[in-house]
């Protein structure tokens, strides 16, 4: 195989020349401004006859706003100290906010069209491909209070609802976790302390865990108040709108039914026994009676295989080629055309992401590659995201905004291909065990940790309806939820998890938990089908990806996979697939 040497830095010049001082980009922003002004006028003069033009303008301007945001996130990620980029970020945020206001105004117009005229209108050929998303916009707006009242809520939410979330973030920013290391006391940030939980030395984990608990307890009253008021605001708004379930909004956002959600958790719960065995075995391997919460992600071995960037890239391409030619070609092209920023250097943002430039029909991937197999997985994961965007090429922009629960379909799928191959090609048994464990840890996270979050959040909102929930009670609810989700397999639980987990405080996304478990299993289910059907599956897969943002998940699964998500079968297969790793792990670690 003759392969080029891949560059570890990306090409942003192809979009706008000159980085954060790009003149081209400045001009672009003022073009967007002009388009937004025109869009506003169009909405003011809206009539059913102008809907086609309005949607064409929306399509054009939203693409450009996304393109601009993508450029800024790339600039800021590659150099966190880029001051000009931060300034530009503020400008782009303003444009974004303006677009949102205008979309609100458009929704108002859509709700204003009477039922008969609407059903006639939507039957027109031009609107047919957009039927689902347009009906959805109209229905969601109709479910809310009259526009004037919603506007009032939105403006009060800035210093009410969202402010509680912001307050939480600023508290977290000040939290220091004092831990003694090498004879001196170090003040760790929350993120630094978190990393210590995967430290191989139990004494370190134990010490950090105690300091961690103390730090969160010190802020528990304030954080508890923030959670109560944020939750109270949310419930009050729902009540005014006449919404009786706290799950209505997150389910709507994820285009899924309550029955689907219930069935998913049911099947997971039915199979937890196997995961429990894993936790018990891990305790044994670590020489413990039972694991404590802080032991769950402890490493079993220290040795790690290192692959150069080139080797990592070639490994990914080779594994993808066993799945399908389109994914393979796309991936090669991404490496060759410098769509990826992977260089290991200072001044970069931590973490990884994939962002799309819809005007150019390209994506960019960001990460820091240091050669671990987990880096290779991350790279495959982000390439999966980019492939999802690629698959959606040619789909109308309005049909490209997929929800959180399907957003990880292609990324998890790609990661799975590579993670499975890595296990297969492990150099020895020890490496095989640790790679399997890495996969099992995902199941533990999605089936146990996230389940605990879901149980806690549901119960918290139930109690909040009747008044404020005290810190003592929050602690109790948290431990109860963890015990249930982890099948009582742990010795010590994380009492203040409700305070340390920022997901409970994200006001933009209520119930920031179950969509991720859904996404993982949905992808696993597709992966299982792909393995069963062998080659030629790729075409089916791409067709599914194209439809991810223009129908409910139940319809998506029925149309492309031929399965009913409200029934057991699909979930059963997906969960079992992931538990095969546990079986293998138990087998390999039997005599150690």
Nearest distance, CB of residue 411 and Zn ion, angstroms: 4
- Of residues 411 and 548, the one with the C-beta less far from Zn ion: 411
Nearest distance, CB of residue 84 and Zn ion, angstroms: 29
Site for Zn ion in 350-379 (CB under 5 A): none
Number of residues that bind Zn ion (CB under 5 A): 1
- Of residues 519 and 525, the one with the C-beta less far from Zn ion: 519
Structure tokens at 290: 């039972």
From 490, 561, 554, select the one nearest 525 (Cα to Cα). 561
Nearest distance, CB of residue 381 and Zn ion, angstroms: 6
Q: Which residue is nearest to Zn ion (CB)?
A: 411
Q: Distance (Å, rounded) from C-alpha 41 to C-alpha 98?
A: 13
- DSSP letter, residue 352: -
- Of residues 16 and 516, the one with the C-beta less far from Zn ion: 516
Nearest distance, CB of residue 391 and Zn ion, angstroms: 15
- Of residues 69 and 222, the one with the C-beta less far from Zn ion: 69
Instruction: Say which residue the tokens 């000159």 belong to.
Output: 18
Contacts for 451 with CB less than 8 Å, ≥ 6 apart = 265, 268, 269, 485, 517
Containing H/E element for 363? strand 362-366
- Of residues 127 and 353, the one with the C-beta less far from Zn ion: 353
- Of residues 368 and 411, the one with the C-beta less far from Zn ion: 411
Structure tokens at 237: 């708004």
Nearest distance, CB of residue 451 and Zn ion, angstroms: 20
- Of residues 260 and 411, the one with the C-beta less far from Zn ion: 411
Nearest distance, CB of residue 450 and Zn ion, angstroms: 15
Whether residue 503 contacts residue 452, with contact meaning beta carbons closer than 8 Å, is answered with no
Nearest distance, CB of residue 382 and Zn ion, angstroms: 7
Angle subtended at Cα 505 by Cα 499 and Cα 510, rounded to the nearest 5 degrees: 130
* E strand intervals along 275-345: 340-341
Per-residue mark of binding to Zn ion, 394-413 (x: CB under 5 A):
-----------------x--
532 burial (CB, 10 Å; 0-12 / 13-18 / 19+) is: exposed
Q: Provide the terminal-to-terminal Cα distance of the chain, rounded to the nearest Å.
A: 40
Nearest distance, CB of residue 515 and Zn ion, angstroms: 12
- Of residues 247 and 327, the one with the C-beta less far from Zn ion: 327
461 in the Ramachandran plot: left (φ > 0), alpha (ψ -120 to 50) or beta? Answer: alpha
From 78, 73, 107, 108, select the one nearest 93 (Cα to Cα). 73
Q: Distance (Å, rounded) from C-alpha 359 to C-alpha 62?
A: 10
Nearest distance, CB of residue 389 and Zn ion, angstroms: 12
- Of residues 57 and 523, the one with the C-beta less far from Zn ion: 523
Contacts for 440 with CB less than 8 Å, ≥ 6 apart = 275, 278, 581, 582, 585
From 478, 486, 503, 514, select the one nearest 403 (Cα to Cα). 514
User: In the chain, how many H helices and how many E strands?
Assistant: 26, 5
289 burial (CB, 10 Å; 0-12 / 13-18 / 19+) is: exposed
Nearest distance, CB of residue 385 and Zn ion, angstroms: 6
- Of residues 243 and 353, the one with the C-beta less far from Zn ion: 353
Whether residue 376 contacts residue 312, with contact meaning beta carbons closer than 8 Å, is answered with yes
Q: Catalog residues that contact Zn ion under the rule CB under 5 A.
A: 411
């Amino acid at each position: 195989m003759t392969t080029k040497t891949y560059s570890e830095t990306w090409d942003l010049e192809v979009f706008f020349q000159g980085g954060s001082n790009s003149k081209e980009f400045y001009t672009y922003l003022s073009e967007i401004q002009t388009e937004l002004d025109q869009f506003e006028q169009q909405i003011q003069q809206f009539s059913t006859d102008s809907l086609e033009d309005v949607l064409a303008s929306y399509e054009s301007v939203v693409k450009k706003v996304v393109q601009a945001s993508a450029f800024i996130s790339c600039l800021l990620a590659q150099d966190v100290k880029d001051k000009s980029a931060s300034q530009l970020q503020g400008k782009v945020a303003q444009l974004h906010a303006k677009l949102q206001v205008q979309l609100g105004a458009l929704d108002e117009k859509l709700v204003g069209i009477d039922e008969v005229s609407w059903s006639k209108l939507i039957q027109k050929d031009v609107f047919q491909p957009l039927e689902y998303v347009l009906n959805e916009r109209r229905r969601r707006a109709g479910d809310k209070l009259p526009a004037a009242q919603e506007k009032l809520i939105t403006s009060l939410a800035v210093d009410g609802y969202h402010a509680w979330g912001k307050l939480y973030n600023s508290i977290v920013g000040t939290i220091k976790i004092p831990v003694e290391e090498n004879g001196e006391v170090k003040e760790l940030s929350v993120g630094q302390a978190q990393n210590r939980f995967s430290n191989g030395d139990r004494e370190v984990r134990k010490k950090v865990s105690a300091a961690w608990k103390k730090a969160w307890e010190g802020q528990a009253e304030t954080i508890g108040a923030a959670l109560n008021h944020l939750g109270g605001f949310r419930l009050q708004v729902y009540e005014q709108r006449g919404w009786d379930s706290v799950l209505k909004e997150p389910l709507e956002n994820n285009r899924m039914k309550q029955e689907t959600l219930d069935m998913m958790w049911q099947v997971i719960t039915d199979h937890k026994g196997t995961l429990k065995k894993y936790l018990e075995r891990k305790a044994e391997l670590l020489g413990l009676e039972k694991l404590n919460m802080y032991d769950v992600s402890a490493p079993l071995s220290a040795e790690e295989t290192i692959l150069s960037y080139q080797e990592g890239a070639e490994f990914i391409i080779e594994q993808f080629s066993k799945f399908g030619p389109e994914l393979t070609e796309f991936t090669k092209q991404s490496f060759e055309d410098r769509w990826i920023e992977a260089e290991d250097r200072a001044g970069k943002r931590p973490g990884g992401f994939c962002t799309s430039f819809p005007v150019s029909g390209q994506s960019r991937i960001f990460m820091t590659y240091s050669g671990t197999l987990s880096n290779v997985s991350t790279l495959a994961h982000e390439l999966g995201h980019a492939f999802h965007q690629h698959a959606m090429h040619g789909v109308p922009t309005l049909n490209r905004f997929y929800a959180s629960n399907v957003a990880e379909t292609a990324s998890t799928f790609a990661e799975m291909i590579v993670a499975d191959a890595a296990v297969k090609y492990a150099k020895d048994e020890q490496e095989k065990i640790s790679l399997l464990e890495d996969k099992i840890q995902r199941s533990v996270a999605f089936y146990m940790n996230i389940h605990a979050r879901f149980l806690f959040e549901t119960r918290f909102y139930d109690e909040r309806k009747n008044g404020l929930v005290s810190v003592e009670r929050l602690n109790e609810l948290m431990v109860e939820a963890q015990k249930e989700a982890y099948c009582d397999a742990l010795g010590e639980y994380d009492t203040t998890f409700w305070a340390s987990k920022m997901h409970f405080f994200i006001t933009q996304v209520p119930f920031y938990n179950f969509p991720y478990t859904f996404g993982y299993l949905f992808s696993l289910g597709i992966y299982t089908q792909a393995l069963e059907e062998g080659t030629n599956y790729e075409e089916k897969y791409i067709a599914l990806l194209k439809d991810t943002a223009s129908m409910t998940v139940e319809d998506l699964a029925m149309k492309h996979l031929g399965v009913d998500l409200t029934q057991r079968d699909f979930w059963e297969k997906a969960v079992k697939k992931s538990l095969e790793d546990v079986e293998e792990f138990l087998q390999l670690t039997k005599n150690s």
